[in-house]
Amino acid sequence: MKHLLTRLFITLGSALLLSSHTALAEEYPQIIKHILDRGLSMVADFDATPDMRGYILESQGKPITVYVSKDQQHAFVGTHIDQDGNNFSAEKIDALYYPVKARQTWAELASSHWVADGDNSAPTTIYAFYDPNCPYCQAFREAASPWIQSGLVQLRHIMVGVLTPSSLPKTATILGAANPHTAYMQNVAQHKHGGIAVQESARIRGEPQVQANNQLMQKLGVPATPGIYYKDAEGRLHRHLGMPPAHTLNLMMEGVAKP
């Protein structure tokens, strides 16, 4: 068992932090506590079979199912499949993990440092990690502008500085400006000519916010900009990386016809 857990921890690495779902940490079996102590985080626990209790944990943004024997002396990591081939692990992950993850992610996006582009009363909100040097961020904003201008969508740019050495000071200048939206629009207008000019006082004010956004981007495992988060008509959370094609753009706008 010791060797199994060691291999598990090496493979999974460090985890994102999620709040516990159904039980207090002190109520978990000792074998689960060993896993939690090494960096994985608890999402939910459930009755798997009369002889096993299941636990859904998270590592690097991915769900892991662990099953503990009735005597709490053994743990099994993997997928629970019955004799008919039904994947009970996948069912539990769909029911217990993804809704919790979606709520947490949306709340983290909302509490990040973003610049609003569009009406505050717009029925659709979209978050996008935005680097001022990213041409695809500019293209996405341009493609979304008809919906923004019509009041149907508010695009919230989570400002990061990750692409080039000049990205962070430019982003910090935008977030540290007296009016970040005005500074953002200056960068949009001047993008083909090098973007917004760095202003030292604004850069100093805005840099901690940029660093926090950079950390959130890394935590969520977003490898590139724009990293776009949106909800469909049923309220399910989706992520798209890069410039979306036309049909995906329409889905992001909840299928609203282009104004």
Q: Cβ contacts of residue 159 below 8 Å, gap of 6+? A: 113, 114, 115, 130, 132, 171, 174, 175, 180, 184, 209, 210, 213
Mark whether 62 and 162 lie in a shared domain.
no
Kindly report, residue by residue over 170-203, the tens digit of the pLDDT. Answer: 999 999 999 999 999 999 999 888 999 999 999 9
Mark whether 20 and 69 lie in a shared domain.
yes
Mark whether 127 and 226 lie in a shared domain.
yes
Among 99, 98, 92, which residue's Cα sits nearest to residue 78? 92
Distance CA 217, CA 148 (A): 24
**What one-letter code names the amino acid at 38?**
R
Domain count, the chain: 2
Domain that residue 172 falls in: 112-252
Mark whether 14 and 132 lie in a shared domain.
no
Mark whether 127 and 245 lie in a shared domain.
yes
**What one-letter code names the amino acid at 117?**
D
Mark whether 159 and 228 lie in a shared domain.
yes
Q: Is residue 243 part of a domain?
A: yes
Distance CA 114, CA 140 (A): 16
Distance CA 192, CA 101 (A): 38
Contact 140, 244 (CB under 8 A): yes
Distance CA 56, CA 186 (A): 46
Mark whether 182 and 238 lie in a shared domain.
yes
Task: Tell me the average pLDDT of the chain.
Answer: 86
Mark whether 61 and 184 lie in a shared domain.
no
Kindly report, residue by residue over 116-151, the tens digit of the pLDDT. Answer: 999 999 999 999 999 999 999 999 999 999 999 999
